[in-house]
Structure 1
Amino acid sequence: MLTISGNLQAEILQLDPVVSAEEGDDVILPCFHPKEQINNVLWYKQLTGQKPVLLASSYYRTQPFKFYNNFDMPKRFDLLRADGSSNLSITSIQQSDSAVYYCAVAFSNVVSFGAGTVLLLKGHHSNKYTVQQLPVPHLLYPKDSVTLQCSVITNICAGDHSVYWFRHGSGGSDPGIIFTHGNRSDQCKKSSETVSPTQSCIYKLPKNNLSLSDAGTYYCAVAACGEILYGNGTKLNVKGKNLKLIQRFQKKMVRKTKHRHAYTYTRIVLRTHATLLLNICKEREREREPVT
């Protein structure tokens, strides 16, 4: 939660750090705030790499929301107000709606922000470029290292790319930007093997000395050619050290059990063979005894 000036703080809850939708869908972004000590409710929209833009504001309970920066044309944005909540409704989702939306409340000289909600478009494909993220194929443990990869492939726009990484943690933590890339020539390669020459740029995010707090889904956002496109996310599973020790112990026990079973089986076979040999010897002794 971000607070600007003053000593009073309001707890703003945006319970959905990431909301995924398909183009044309309707979504509601929840925002819960105190019922008392609140003068204004505000919503901001922030495109990747840009400053937040005021979307709407209102005096709490007394006036309807007022929209700014042409967000009321056409009328796809609306505020659903209830006791202790002011939820943002967006209808007929478009690619331009992909952004981070912040709910804020003002009281006295203090403005308090929620952690933000990232609105992602599922299945959106730009006709200018493609963003791909590779999965991490194995479990990771504390102190391990891994490198996340984001590829940008384009055959139209060869200008600079701005690439941003942000994380949606398993505990619903702030989905803010954690790393940014500029466009560098050593990250991009051109290919003329196809009819339309393509340019492929690879951006990497190294994660060293992992801890449990690094777990979550990492998204790559690319701003290029006047568009912003998100990758499908790379999930990072970081398991506790205790689990790793348990797995090692289980493997060791399996090996010991196998050896024990093999040893037991050998003893049974030898004992059986010894019994058979003893019976054969006794039978032969009986055959040698004279008949009376």
Structure 2
Amino acid sequence: MNYRGRFAPSPTGLLHAGSLVAAVGSWLCARHAGGQWLLRVEDIDPPREVAGSAAAILAALPAFGLIADGPVIYQSSRMAAYDAAFEQLRQTGLLFPCWCSRTDLATANGLHRDGHCVAPADLDRPPAWRIRVPDESIHFTDALQGPQSQSLRDAVGDFVIRRVEGFYSYQLACVVDDAWQGISDVVRGNDLLDSTARQIWLQRCLSLPTPRYLHLPLVLDSQGRKLSKSERSREIDPADPLPSLRRALSFLGMEPDAGARDAAGLLNAALAHFNPQHLPQCSDHHVA
């Protein structure tokens, strides 16, 4: 399988140190394998989007030497593909409409494990749509975090595929687009490790290939909290990219070239010594 990686930011704020680490890590892995590095904007959750942030993120990446090997894909333009995947799942009987409220699910720790809605149908309002999950564990090996196993029924239950508002879930859109873009390797932050079993299950249900996964450690703040665009974590300055890029490379366990004069030179010097097997497994509370 030819290596095709990707960086897929959501437009919920400007690029910050944590998302730069994910971008640089995925770029290094793709280039180390002699493969392609693609970009995808995951703009399928309008209520969480920050106006102008998608354009700002895409404008910032080249300043850090991160150039994609193809046109940018916007998930907002891919609704027909998600509709088709949704209909495929519905036709196989895996989906069911759900009107359950948080109160309805409170007795089950907020999880839905019944395979059908336990609340009365309310035809005056649209339902969410959930997928029935098996009472079995999904096993996979993460290239950095090692062997993983998750019981979907115990950990997440029957999870939402399409929300009440009509927005498709991250899980469905991610799976459909990874397959459509021919992504062979997903390199992303460790906060998404928990999503991987759900995505593998959806890939099986939709007869889609399963890529290899590598989950990078998270950049944390001084209180040990994950940086987040939606929480206005400290942004990085594309006009002065070298300090932030050096910090990202150091976080990934590398010694940045002190003599590099531009971002491209710094990245290429790092690539010459890069080995994904030497990436750190955990963050150890590194501070951005």
| TM score, norm. by length of structure 1 | 0.25
More strand by share: 1
More helix by share: 2
Task: State the structure with more CA Rg.
Answer: 1
